[in-house]
Amino acid sequence: MNITFKGNEVHLYGQPLKAGDLFPDFMLTDLQFNDVESATLGGPKVILTLPSADASTSTLELLTLTDRLESHPELTVLAVSLDLPFTLRKWNKDNAGDYITLYSDSKFRTFGEITGTYVEELGILAPAVFVVDGANRITYVEYVPEISHEPNYDRLLEEAAKTVKA
């Protein structure tokens, strides 16, 4: 899989996930610095990885999805970055992120490896989308090929809606 940043190839650490795989167990940190185990998140969900909530493309992605999720209240959407919870809390406050729950991997630093999204050269997570069903099986994956680009929103929402209805 070729991933680029501003046209230059970068290398992802970890094994990329694919549709049909079980989503690996993980630990993240919420905005109040509480540890969150994947098992407590249950149900169908969309998991996004972001370079940084403050990065212009990530902010655009979060705001675009927030707008589009108003008509999809049945979807649970999580976004993960290596940002500190302070940064994510400020972003959430400044942008009214009501439809996406932000999590930090700054404490455990394993999410990028288990999802194959950690960018070795930059120390960030590459943008990716994982749609996960109620049995924790991945039904859709998109690794965005250029870090400064956004995912395919239409496809993401279409696949997520199918997973929730299943």
What is the pTM assigned to this prediction? Answer: 0.97
d(CA 71, CA 90): 25
* Amino acid letter for position 12: L
Question: What is the length of the chain?
Answer: 166
Domains of the chain: 3-165 (3.40.30.10)
pLDDT by residue, tens only, the chain of 166 residues: 899 999 999 999 998 999 999 999 999 999 999 999 999 998 899 999 999 999 999 999 999 999 999 889 899 999 999 999 999 999 999 997 789 999 999 999 999 999 999 999 999 999 999 999 999 999 999 999 999 999 999 999 999 999 988 7
DSSP string over 51-62? S-TTSHHHHHHH
Q: To which H or E segment does residue 95 belong?
A: helix 85-95
